[in-house]
Amino acid sequence: MAVAVTGIWYDAGADRECSARLLEDFGILRIEEPQTSAALRQLDAVDVRIHRTPGGAVRRVEFADGSEFEAADANGGRAASGGKNRGARADRSWVFSIGGLLAAAAGLLALYLVVWPAFVTLAVDATPPVLVEEVTQSVTRHLTGALENSRLPAEEQARIFEGFHKLAALTSRGAGGYELNFRGSRVLGPNAFALPNGQVFLLDDLVDVNLHEPELILAVLAHEVAHIEKKHALRGFYDKLGIVVVGAVLLGGVSSAGDVLAEGIKTIVMANSQQAEMEADRYSADLLYRSGYDPVALMRSLSLVERQTANLRAGNSVLRTHPPTPERVARLKQYIEQLTGRPVEF
């Protein structure tokens, strides 16, 4: 004999609810619309979970997909316990949804932190030399208006170049892979910078700040060599540029883009990331040590430039390209002590 119960039908798939009638007849459950008797769901009772009253009447039916039917109480409203449970289940559903979104975001972040650096490394290694050269030439053209002929005496340039040649000879590119350029500038201040093809620029004002002490100047040049050896300019550019151009480089789709890439490369050359600066500090300290120079000269040079340009840095972004923070100097000191095996007095 069929038993009919009126109540509320909640369809989890459609995320809606409506008035409905439950028919139970010999183990078969049928959910239908009260007015039209159109079937909303029909299945064997063994496939659902039925909650009954102490008298045996159907109170709530739970389906495997999260749908449910709630019998109305004597006054035609929802059974109190059923409504409360479904509200709690709805709350849990929101929690699960938010948790899923957070898990997905965490997964994407992990993917970015792990996969993206490797992707950038592949792009850097795949960059053809002709593109590196074209980018460098374009950057040089962009900087032409900011540079002028050096006023340093030829004898002093020769002395600095001799030490630079000694440093470059111990790198992977060798002395022939580097070119030292002496320039003056009225806008770039005490500075030195390196371009991806091995060109290093030393500005007169930086020589003046270092009081023409060759070892301090060579420490700065060793730092710029480190940026080239570690390919920081290209790496920083690809890292900031995004996946489109990196993918194009990996797939061979970028063949002649010097003018397009130059502005980005110029910006990164003049403002390496803090991580790149730390890595260049360690490499240059090691290079100075292997060349027979005191790596502490790098700490002295950085601190001296900081003191001499403190007033200028606040209003000139170019002078903040190599910010020797106390943390950076402290880490460099620790590294040099490990490198030389002796305490550093600084």
Domain that holds residue 283: 127-340
- Looking at 33, 62, 88, the residue that finishes a domain is 88
Per the structure, the count of domains in the chain is 2
pLDDT band at 110 (very low <50, low <70, confident <90, very high): low
Task: Record the pTM.
Answer: 0.61
Contacts for 186 with CB less than 8 Å, ≥ 6 apart: 146, 148
pLDDT of res. 338: 94
270 has a pLDDT exceeding 90: no
**Same domain, residue pair 174 and 63:** no
Q: How many CB atoms lie within 10 A of CB 306?
A: 18
Tell me the mean pLDDT in the region 184-207. 89
Please calculate the CA angle 167-169-175 and round it to the nearest 5 degrees: 105
**Same domain, residue pair 25 and 153:** no
Residue 235 counted as domain residue:
yes
**Same domain, residue pair 263 and 208:** yes
**Same domain, residue pair 161 and 73:** no
Tell me the mean pLDDT in the region 194-213. 86
Q: Name which residue leads in pLDDT, 102 or 149.
A: 149
Tens of pLDDT, residues 16-34: 788 888 887 767 778 888 8
Residue 99 counted as domain residue:
no
Distance CA 79, CA 8 (A): 10
131 has a pLDDT exceeding 80: no
Residue 95 counted as domain residue:
no
The encoded tokens of residue 246 equal 């990196």
pLDDT of res. 5: 83
52 has a pLDDT exceeding 70: yes
3-state secondary structure of 55: coil
**Same domain, residue pair 221 and 288:** yes
290 has a pLDDT exceeding 90: yes
**Same domain, residue pair 84 and 221:** no
Distance CA 156, CA 14 (A): 81
Distance CA 148, CA 186 (A): 8
pLDDT of res. 268: 47
